[in-house]
Structure 1
Amino acid sequence: MSDGVQRAGGADDASLDHYLIFATPEDRDRGVPPLGILVEEFVLCDDYTAAGIDGVEWSSATGAWGDSSATSRNLRTDALLRSRVIAVSRHDASDAYKACGGGELPPAAEIRTLFRERQPLPAAAPLDLGATGSRRYRVLFAGELGGDGLANVRSALRLEPVADPADPLARVVGTATVTAEGHTFTWEMRRIGPGIAWCLDMTVRLGAGPESTIGVLLHHHRQVIREQGLIPVTIERFA
C-alpha cells in the first residue's frame, strides 16, 4: 500500500466490515429497513496489528454517503447503539441498500474512495517477554455474547472448554492449538468483565512458513467473532 499499511484481509470485498443501523433494537428483528449502513475496514501494520479504522456511512434518509468517525467510535463505547446494529455480510448489506432505494452497493474499490477520516488506534512497541521466535496478539471486542453466540464461536474456533462458559465470572472459556504453514498457533477466548468486553488472545510460535498466515488466521477469527455480535475494537501485539 502506498500509505505503508495493508488492508485487513486483502484488497477485495472480504476486508470490509458491513453493519446495518436501525432506529430501535426491536426493528432489527421486525424486517424494518435500516436507517443506514456502516462500512469499515481495519488498516494494519506490517505485523498485522491495527493502525486505524477507515469507514463511511450511508444514510437512507439522505441517500448519501458521509463521514462515519463518530458512529465508529460510539459503536465501540455505547451499548445502546450496539443494540441497534447488526453485523452483516456484503450480500446482506447489498440487499438492504437496494431495499432502501440505494440501488447497487458500490464495489469495495469505489467505497474506499469515500473514506475521508481515519480513526487512529493507539500503537506501541511489543513488550519483550523473552519469548524469542514467538508473538502474542490480542483482538479486543466490545459487547457481550449470548449463549448461542458463545456456542457458535466455540464451535467455529474449535475451542476446548477451560471453564463453564455460562459462569459470568469465568474468564477463559476455551482454548485451541493448531499447526498451519509451519507455525504453531494457540488461541483462547477470554471474557473481560461480565457484560463489558471480550478478547481473543493468540500466541504464534514462528516456523519456516510465510508470515502472511498470521494475518489470514487473525482475520478469520475476527470475522467469526464479529458475526456473533461482538464489535472488533483493535488488534494489539504484546510480544
Structure 2
Amino acid sequence: MTTTSLARQAVDPSPSLHYYVIHDHVGELDGLLAEEFLLAVDHSSAGLVSAFWSRRDGGWRDGADTSRRLRLDAALRAHVVAVGRAAAAEVYRNACGADLPGEAALRACFGDLPAAQPPPLRLSGPAATPGFRETRVYRILFVNELTRDGLDALSRVWRMPVTGDLADPGARVVGVVHRHVSGDTFRWDLRRVAAGAAWGLDVTCDLGGERDEAVGVLLHGLTAQMRQQGLIPVTVDRFR
C-alpha cells in the first residue's frame, strides 16, 4: 500500500479545510466551523486559522475563539461532530437554502495570520537512522476521547495490532504501525499523552530519497482518519 493510498482510504484530501458541525445544548444546529492548519515547509503546523458560521447571526466571521474553545472545553466538544465538506455543505444548505461558500471564500473570513513561529523544537540530534538520508519525528496531538469502536476502526484501516488495553488508564501505547514505501520507512505509535488528557500519533519518518512529499500526505491522511473517530487535531510538532 502506498502512502498516498493510505491517506486516501478515509477521505479524499483535496479539500484542505476541516469542518465541524456544532449543536447547542438541546441538539439544535448552532453553527459550522471551517479550519485550516498552516504548515511549515517540513509539514509541521505553524498556526491554525478558521471561519465560523452562526445560525443565529446568519453570517461567516473569524472563528479563532471557537477553535480555541473547541480544544479547551470538553462540554463543547460533546456537541461537535467532525465532518467532510460534502456533509458540511448539506447541513448548510438545509439550514439556509444556499450553497456552502468555496474554500477561497471561507479563507477570506479568517482573522489575522499568526506571527512568525520560533524555530522548531528539536529533542534529538540530526543524525539519521543508518541507511537513510534523513530521520524526522513528529507528534500529531489530538483532544477528545477515543472509543473502543474508534480504536477498532483505526486498527482495521491501518492493519494495526492493538497492543494496549484502552480501558486501562495506565496503558500508554495502544498500537504501533510500520510501513515501507518506495525506499522510505514510516512508523506511528498511537498513545495517550498529557496524563491521559489527550492522544498523540508519534510518527517517525526514515527518508531514503531526496523528496519529502510523502511525509505531508501521510500526516494529512493520519489526521483525517483520527478525525473520523471523533478526535480533534491540536497541532503537528516536529521533534527531530
Aligning the two structures, in what range does the TM-score lie when normalised by the shorter sequence? Answer: 0.7 to 0.9
Q: Is the Cα contact below 8 Å between 1:159 and 1:188 reproduced in 2?
A: no
Match of 2:5 in 1: none
Match of 2:36 in 1: 41
Q: How far apart, CA to CA, are the structure 1 residues paired with 2:31 and 2:104?
A: 20
Match of 2:96 in 1: 101
Match of 1:81 in 2: 76
Match of 1:5 in 2: none
Residue 105 (structure 2) aligned to one of 98, 106, 110: 110
Amino acid at match of 1:236: D
SS at match of 2:211: coil
Over 3 Å counting, the alpha-carbon distance change for 1:42 and 1:167 in structure 2 is: same
SS at match of 1:220: helix
Q: Give the percent of matched residue pairs that are identical in Structure 1 and Structure 2.
A: 40
Match of 1:150 in 2: 151
Shift of 1:54: 1.3
What whole-Å deviation, never above 9, does each CA across 1:43-93 have from its counterpart, x for those lacking one? Answer: 000000000011100011121001211110111111001111100111110
Q: How far apart, CA to CA, are the structure 2 residues paired with 1:113 and 1:126?
A: 31
What whole-Å deviation, never above 9, does each CA across 1:105-124 have from its counterpart, x for those lacking one? Answer: 01112211221234569654
What whole-Å deviation, never above 9, does each CA across 1:130-156 have from its counterpart, x for those lacking one? Answer: 332201000000111111112112222
Shift of 1:159: 1.8
Q: Is the Cα contact below 8 Å between 2:54 and 2:60 reproduced in 1?
A: yes
Shift of 1:13: 5.1
Q: How far apart, CA to CA, are the structure 2 residues paired with 1:45 and 1:174?
A: 28
Over 3 Å counting, the alpha-carbon distance change for 1:141 and 1:119 in structure 2 is: farther
Match of 1:54 in 2: 49
SS at match of 2:168: coil
SS at match of 1:15: coil
Match of 1:167 in 2: 168
Q: TM-score, normalised by structure 1?
A: 0.86
Match of 2:66 in 1: 71
Match of 1:92 in 2: 87
Match of 1:20 in 2: 21
Q: TM-score, normalised by structure 2?
A: 0.86
Q: How far apart, CA to CA, are the structure 2 residues paired with 1:99 and 1:178?
A: 42
Shift of 1:209: 5.5
Amino acid at match of 1:17: H
Aligned pair count reads 223
If asked which structure has higher relative contact order (CA below 8 Å, sep 6+), I would say: 2
Shift of 1:195: 5.2
Q: How far apart, CA to CA, are the structure 2 residues paired with 1:206 and 1:66?
A: 41
Amino acid at match of 1:138: R
Q: Is the Cα contact below 8 Å between 2:64 and 2:111 reproduced in 1?
A: no
Q: In terms of mean alpha carbon deviation, does 170-179 or 94-103 score higher?
A: 94-103
Shift of 1:181: 3.2
Over 3 Å counting, the alpha-carbon distance change for 1:96 and 1:121 in structure 2 is: farther
Amino acid at match of 2:135: S
Match of 2:185 in 1: 184
Match of 1:4 in 2: none
Amino acid at match of 1:21: I
Over 3 Å counting, the alpha-carbon distance change for 1:86 and 1:191 in structure 2 is: same
Q: What does residue range 187-198 of structure 1 map to in structure 2 within 5 Å?
A: 187-192=188-193, 196-198=197-199
Q: CA RMSD in A?
A: 2.1
